Amino acid sequence: MNTLIDAFTGPLGEAYFQKSLMGASIVAIVASVVGCLVVLRRMAFLGDALSHAMIAGVAGGYLVMKMLFGLEANAPGMLLGSLLTAILTVGLIGFVSRISRIKEDTAIGIMYTGVFALGVVFVSIFRHYIHIDLMHFIMGDVLGISDVDLWASAIVAATVLTVIILFFRHFQIAAFDPVMAASIGLPIVLLDYVLTTCVSLVVVSAVSMVGVILVVGLLITPAATAYLLSDRLSRMMGLAALFGVTSVAGGLYLCVWLDTAGGGAIMVFATLQFLVVLILAPRYGMIARWLRQRRRVPQQLLEDVLGTLIRRAGEPVTIDVMRKYIPVAEGLKASLGKMVREELIVPVDGGFNLTRKGAEEASRILRAHRLWESYLEHIGTPATEVHNQAHILEHVRDHRSMDYLDSLLGHPERDPHGSEIPPKT
């Protein structure tokens, strides 16, 4: 028992763990909140692109600071550089898709690989001047988080969250209905740029922790998890932030216990969390969906039960008797239960009887069935097929159609088998 508690409290005492937990949580919260807008606007690919494009900015920032001020690996310089490249990349993507027939997804693909490649070439050429560990850039290092990183991410988070909260309604409407937003005079192009700048800021501050490849996961996975649980954007953002933090906490423990890469552990945890919610979510989850399908009483079965009961004219009918008359009786018991709750039938001495409401419904079905039989005979359907076809057609029984058939056939009183057609109710 003590070892179990130790497993949780132990790492909490370590300074590096505290710092990682704090830094990564801050980044995860803001990434998840912005991620909600990214998910709703289907910009996931853009988030991925921005994180890759950054490497050119990191190298550029490094080089400029070193050349001009002689500073080695200056963090603010690299941060600013990556932010500039991110914005430049977004601008290029917008430019290409605006002036040509190239669609946006292709433009993103072209521009980010181009800028990323440029960064890689850059880093190779100046490898004697700038010391960037490409591996670090790609994988991130959440446990080696520095004080500067912590401050940078805190400032980024505060700024971005303030913007999102202040202009929540603007972002909401621009994501939901951009044309309407423009028509009421909102500057949607500006909002677009503000949002992509926010995404760039978040991506830049998250890359040092989880790395280029996983950063898009931090952006969208908690947001998508929240999406499955909410019907309001504000709630979705709140839940996303929560899932961001749980991903970070769960991931960091995994990382310490199993001694694995921090970024990988965080994203594995986030993905597992998503899958659990995907299965269990009360409305949009797999189990809920499966239950909904199971609970639905097939209309045909309901009609068959009512039809069987009315033909037995008031006598209680047991399940076994019903099975004889109903061609596909799968799920009969569940359906009967549901029909009792809907007050169509009542249980009587081991069998079932129609209620008043059930009898009315049954009489409508019987009228439809027998009118269709008469109609089918009228148009020359072979006698052997009349009953089966009418059985399928009896679900069509709106008043207008029934009145039409009735007058077309000259208001018949009996069907081709001589049974009485119930009058209109």
Rounded to whole angstroms, the Cα distance separating 263 from 252 reads 9
Query: Judged by CB, which is closer to other proteins: 156, or 393?
Result: 393
**Contact track, other proteins, 73-112, x by CB under 8 A:** ----------------------------x-x---------
Residue 362 within binding range of other proteins, rule CB under 8 A: no
Q: By CB under 8 A, name the one of 19, 367, 370, 397 that touches other proteins.
A: 397
User: What percentage of the chain's residues is helix, strand, coil (to nearest 5)?
Assistant: 75, 5, 20
Residue 411 within binding range of other proteins, rule CB under 8 A: no
Residue 392 within binding range of other proteins, rule CB under 8 A: yes
Rounded to whole angstroms, the Cα distance separating 322 from 316 reads 11
The residue behind tokens 């709140």 is: 238
* Binding segment toward other proteins, per CB under 8 A, in 4-12, 188-196, 252-260, 375-383: 375-383
Q: Which of 187, 49, 185, 21 is nearest to 111 (CA)?
A: 49
Angle among Cα 159, 231, 338 to the nearest 5 degrees reads: 165
Structure token digits, residue 221: 């996975």
Q: By CB under 8 A, name the one of 311, 395, 411, 417 that touches other proteins.
A: 395
Query: Judged by CB, which is closer to other proteins: 100, or 183?
Result: 100
User: Which residues make beta-bridge pairs with 353?
Assistant: 346
**Smallest separation, CB 330 to other proteins (Å):** 22
**Smallest separation, CB 378 to other proteins (Å):** 9
Rounded to whole angstroms, the Cα distance separating 1 from 82 reads 47
Q: By CB under 8 A, name the one of 4, 15, 379, 382 that touches other proteins.
A: 379
**DSSP secondary structure letter of residue 84:** H
CA distances from 21 to 33, 121, 377 (A): 18, 34, 78
Residue 383 within binding range of other proteins, rule CB under 8 A: no
Residue 398 within binding range of other proteins, rule CB under 8 A: yes
Rounded to whole angstroms, the Cα distance separating 334 from 351 reads 15
Count the site residues for other proteins by CB under 8 A: 18
**Smallest separation, CB 385 to other proteins (Å):** 10
* Binding segment toward other proteins, per CB under 8 A, in 108-116, 120-128, 372-380, 414-422: 372-380
Q: By CB under 8 A, name the one of 408, 411, 420, 424 that touches other proteins.
A: 408
One-letter amino acid for residue 52 of the chain: H
CB 89, CB 203: distance < 8 Å: no
CA distances from 197 to 88, 163, 261 (A): 10, 11, 29
* Binding segment toward other proteins, per CB under 8 A, in 248-256, 309-317, 389-397, 413-421: 389-397
Residues that bind other proteins (CB under 8 A): 101, 103, 375-376, 379, 381, 389, 392-393, 395-398, 400-401, 404-405, 408
